[in-house]
Structure 1
Amino acid sequence: MNEKKQIRVGMIGYKFMGKAHSLAYRNLPFYFDTDAIPITQAISGRNEENVKQAAEKMGWASYETDWRRLIERDDIDLIDIVAPNDSHAEMVIAAAEAGKHIICEKPLAMTVEQAERMLEAVEKNKVVHMICHNYRFAPAVQFAKKLIKEGRLGKIRHIRATYLQDWIMDPNFPLTWRLRKDVTGTGTLGDIAAHSIDLARFLVGEFTEVVGMMETFIKERPIGEMTGGLSGKVEGGEMGEVDVDDAAAFMARFENGALGVFEATRLAGGNRNGNRFEINGELGSIRWDMENMNNLQVYFDQDEHGLQGFRTINCTEEYHPFAGAYWPAGHIIGYEHTFINLFTELMNGIATGKSPEPNFVDGLKNQKVLHAIEESAKKKSWVEIERS
């Protein structure tokens, strides 16, 4: 029996996404027989007390207080970047030049130019790379892709997608890094609409042009910081300007002729994580809702009259992508399993030397759509997507 290749992981950052990634690395070998297995070698964070506690709690063998030192270590094969957006480019390029494989949280970069340099760096240094769009890896979304690829929906005509959250509705929620343009690039657009864009590209195809609008409803907030998850802590009485969007909406055209309508906001009361889409083709339709992530609603126009309508498929059977690694049919999985599924592809990719999708090519294409939406909102007109 061949001994599996061990991939020693170094993770930069350790809070919300760090927790999700750590759990996935720990649980992956329990469910999947991959060509390589992850070893949680070290994490990095600026606050020594906090990063030490995180390493102990989440099962990392060691820690660093300087991400550069983490990248320099000889006992690290893969760099996992879960730090804020403004640091992605510098970290990715340094990791690539050090010959490390890389997985980076979304959005890939702050600008198209940064994303281009990051892609150039990983390709030049021949390292495996992925971007962490985990929603692609819900079994129901993978099954939707399978149905579309098989032609079960026929030619795709429409996608309408919404990503609705409500965690910053309180005007006293602090001005954390996710609400500061110098750190995050954009607000709702890059934070959650980026997921809708990636899902649309995955399921429907490439964008050709967009027209959009963006709005900031709460213009200033008390200065504060993130405290884990999507919560925050006010640091004092000082107020600061909110210079990113609270909401974004846009329409799109795709290379295959399909039309798209998209909306994203973090001010939609009652929506904790309302990541949803509906796709209509000439032969049928599909619907998906992250808050009910195991189910895919499917409609086929060729069903007999009187019995037509959306049916609900619980995508937990061995027939459904990734689902067979978990529990018997009907025993549902959750959010954390989307990361396990993604990292399964990453481990196999590193073992074979091939970058699985979504990788930095996808990250750059997503970045170009984000940029075009920003430009459209400023110009109040349609903007074509820059071709690669």
Structure 2
Amino acid sequence: MKITLVGCRGFGRVHLNAYTELRKEEIGKDLEIYVFSRTEEFAKECMKEFDANGYFTSYDDVLKSDANIIDLVVSHDAHETMGVKAMQAGKNVMIEKPIARTEEEAQSLINTSIKKGVKFMVLENHYFDPTVWKAKELMASLGKISLIIVRNTRRNSPPGWRRDKRLMGGGALIDGGIHYIDTMLNLGGEYSEIKGLCKNTFSGLEGEDTSGGIFNFKGGYLGIFMYSWASKSENFSHFEIYGERGSIKEDGVIYSGKPYGNLIVDIEGIKEKMIQIEKINTVKEEIKGFINALIHNNEVPMNPKIALRDLIAVREIYRQCGEI
């Protein structure tokens, strides 16, 4: 299996570390990893640092190669153009979240993958965190649900393309915030409406750096969402679920490679207890799942329509804010 990573900097290094770990497992023992950078010196450095099998400095050469998978860790504006070109060349494609900047770009990627018969998945590592799915399983124990809260705050003033609203497709929400939108929708299900607010304060972005939303879920409960790059990061619960018989809270203690910690369950008739969740590298697990789907010709573990669902919610908050 040959994989070419496009984007050695930033989160691309997280992918490369995941590949290093995968090569220690049975599924990855025959993996060949190639890297791409337009700067040859950096491409060589990246290849040496991560013990890759080779490097490219031309994307056209990547497309002409015999790579089975192209892993795109690039700016949001390049997702559709580079992804579609790869699919048209017969390549299976992984793209870091978000799926794209707009619904139209996202649908173009999905349609092309179907037309060309290649596998396509958005790498949304929060979707692969077992903490979320254990909480979802336990929700039935709460009886009637009243409220779901999902939030994350941090101080972040990124350089480069993330400051550009056009390249990003927005601000902090479409970048880091879409992770937590994914969690909100995985827990809450379908919604009938969203009320959103956004602010641009002092992070240096052209787009918003702080946003909030209220989801009116069809299950009869509310979801309150908050995300910011202009607030101090605190060790609080990243999600909380309240029902008539008690609550389920993520404990806020984050482990390397895993977005969420353990669960604190307080249900009527049961003494409050901590439920320990397996500590996994969610980036490694999502990539491993995609490789497995290719080997066994199965459906990818996260359908790209889920990534489109998440983008639609982000875009609705932007519409409510007057950002688009």
Please name the residue that 1:181 is paired with. 165
Q: Spell out the pairing of 1:197-346 with structure 2 (5 A cutoff).
A: 197-218=181-202, 242-271=205-234, 276-288=238-250, 289=252, 291=254, 293-303=260-270, 307=271, 309=272, 311-316=273-278, 333=279, 337-346=281-290
Instruction: Indicate yes or no: 2:42 matched with 1:45.
Output: no
AA in 1 matched with 2:196: G
Unaligned 5+ residue runs, structure 1?
Answer: 1-6, 169-173, 222-241, 317-332, 381-388
Structure with more strand by fraction: 1
AA in 1 matched with 2:69: L
Instruction: Indicate yes or no: 2:123 matched with 1:132.
Output: yes
Deviation at 1:38, TM superposition (A): 6.6
Please name the residue that 1:17 is paired with. 11
- In 2, the alpha carbon distance for the partners of 1:55 and 1:175 equals 24
68 and 145 in structure 1: CA distance in 2 versus 1, 3 angstrom threshold: farther
> Which of 279, 300, 318 is residue 356 of structure 1 equivalent to?
300
163 and 300 in structure 1: CA distance in 2 versus 1, 3 angstrom threshold: same
Please name the residue that 2:154 is paired with. 165
- Residue pair 2:237, 2:249 contacting (<8 A) in 1 also: no
- Give the match's secondary structure for 2:226: strand
> Which of 52, 57, 61 is residue 49 of structure 2 equivalent to?
57
Please name the residue that 1:231 is paired with. none
Deviation at 1:142, TM superposition (A): 3.4
Please name the residue that 1:8 is paired with. 2
Q: Identity over aligned residues, as a percent?
A: 27
Structure with higher RCO (Cα < 8 A, 6+ apart): 1
Deviations 1:170-222, CA, capped at 9 Å, x for gaps: xxxx6521111121111111112201111122222133311111111138x5x
AA in 2 matched with 1:60: A
- Give the match's secondary structure for 1:269: coil
114 and 297 in structure 1: CA distance in 2 versus 1, 3 angstrom threshold: same
TM-score (norm: length of structure 1)? 0.76
- In 2, the alpha carbon distance for the partners of 1:18 and 1:275 equals 28
Deviation at 1:82, TM superposition (A): 0.5
- Give the match's secondary structure for 1:30: coil
- In 1, the alpha carbon distance for the partners of 2:153 and 2:89 equals 39
Deviations 1:88-129, CA, capped at 9 Å, x for gaps: 001111111122111110111011110111111111122222
Q: Return the index of the structure with the highest Cα Rg.
A: 1
User: RMSD across aligned C-alpha pairs, in angstroms?
Assistant: 2.4
Deviation at 1:379, TM superposition (A): 8.9
- Residue pair 1:165, 1:274 contacting (<8 A) in 2 also: no
Structure with more helix by fraction: 2
Instruction: Indicate yes or no: 2:62 matched with 1:73.
Output: no
207 and 52 in structure 1: CA distance in 2 versus 1, 3 angstrom threshold: farther
- Residue pair 1:163, 1:276 contacting (<8 A) in 2 also: yes
- In 1, the alpha carbon distance for the partners of 2:263 and 2:173 equals 25
> Which of 75, 92, 95 is residue 84 of structure 1 equivalent to?
75
